[in-house]
Every structure is written in structure tokens, then in C-alpha cells.
Chain A
Amino acid sequence: MAKKTNKGQLTNNIRRLRFDHDEMSQKALAEKVGVSRQTIVAIEAAKYSPSLELAFQIAHAFETPIEEVFGYIPPPPE
């Protein structure tokens, strides 16, 4: 999933990572990182950009580096 912003594009691989981790549910991930399931849904659908702290917590929950979970595509040069 990707979110277009004026400054570039935010991407995430949460859905794939959940699938790779024994099909972890959104609720289970939410409980692991201490947010509501709706917040995980919004992050996964790229409707909400998490704080740096939450982004690290999600990466920690998957035991993977943060760049494996979140990505950034810079805007094309004008």
C-alpha cells in the first residue's frame, strides 16, 4: 500500500509481513504495538502515517528492520 503526499510516496509491507508471520491478525499486531485495530487498518491502507516511535514498534513486532516495513519514494525532480 502507498500513500501519495506532496513530498513523495509512503509505502508499507505490513500486509505481506503479517502473512509471513503465521498470518498474524490485525488485532494481534495492534495488541503487540499498543494501538487500536482501526489504527493498524489505517496504516496498512496508507490512510495514516504512524509516528516514528510506532513505526519502530511495528518493525520490532515483526523482528525486522524498519526499512523492510516502511518505504519512501521521493517525488520526481521538477
Chain B
Amino acid sequence: MSYHERNIVTYLISGIIVMTIYSFYMLDLYQAGLLDGPDAGIELGWSALKLIGGSIIVTVVISVLVSIANAIITKESDFDKADERDKLIDLVGMKVGFITFSIFFVTGMIWLALGAPMQYILLGSIYAMFFASLIEGATRLVLYRRGF
């Protein structure tokens, strides 16, 4: 597995861990009725800020752990500079991720137009970003493996 593939896997793993924790946190808020009250926007805002901070910390920790594990197993500490193929794969991945997010976003807007509560659409947007990044990472992995 190349340096760039390993990075993608690291981001995917950290994304899944963070979103799992976030989902439990949001479930607690929902069960406490805080997502339906007048302060739902404030709760969502704070939860999103905590999510951003948590993602950064978890990603850094997992990146360090994966790098250490890789150095121990392979006895190499490689750091590949992105070349033209890596940049092309990144571009295709971003394009697929953007299209995915756009589909989720339009679906959310349709729900909003049909009368869905604003806070759930906002929450859905956060999950849409997560799924879009998952699909972006998966696309990049497939392109690395299948060839591009």
C-alpha cells in the first residue's frame, strides 16, 4: 500500500470513528428533546464545532499511529510527494465527492420545501458531507487499485 493510499485509509477510518461518536452524541441530544426545542440551532452549532475539533484531533492521532505502525512493520518512513497521477486521482475523487454532496443537498432542499424541520436538514447536511467524503475516499482508493 502506497503512502497516498495509506493516507486515504487513515482519513476514512478517522472519519468513521468521529461520525460514530458524533452520532451517539446527537442521539443523546435527540432523546433529551434538545433538537426540537427553541435552542436546537445553538445545540447544533456547538455540536458542529465540537465535531470539527474532534475530527482534527482524531485524524492527527490516527495518522501518527498509522505512520508509527507502518515504520515498524515495513522499516520504511516513506513520504511520497504527490505527482501528476496522484493529483489527477485527487481531482476525480473531489469531483465524485462534490456530485455526491450535491445530490444529498438537493434532496435536503426538497425535504425542506415539503416542510421538514430546519434543524434536521442542517444535521442531514453534516451527514451528507461525511458520506460525500467517504465516497470521495473510496473512489480514490478504487482508482489507485484499478488503475488510472
Contact = CB atoms under 8 A, between A and B. Distances in A.
Contacts of A37: 2
A4 B144 CA distance: 18
A38 B144 CA distance: 9
Interface residues of A, number: 13
Indicate the size class of the contact surface on chain B: 10 to 19
A39 B86 CA distance: 8
B13 to A, nearest CB: 21
Interface in B102-148: 144, 146-148
Contact of A54 (B4, B80, B84): B84
**Overall SS of chain A's interface:** loop
Interface in A30-44: 34-39, 42
Contacts of B148: 42, 47-48
Interface string A20-60: 00000000000000111111001001011011001000000
A38 B2 contact: yes
Given A38-B4, A38-B144, A39-B84, 14 more contacts: A35-B85, A36-B81, A36-B83, A38-B85, A39-B83, A39-B85, A39-B86, A42-B148, A45-B147, A47-B147, A48-B85, A48-B147, A50-B84, A50-B85
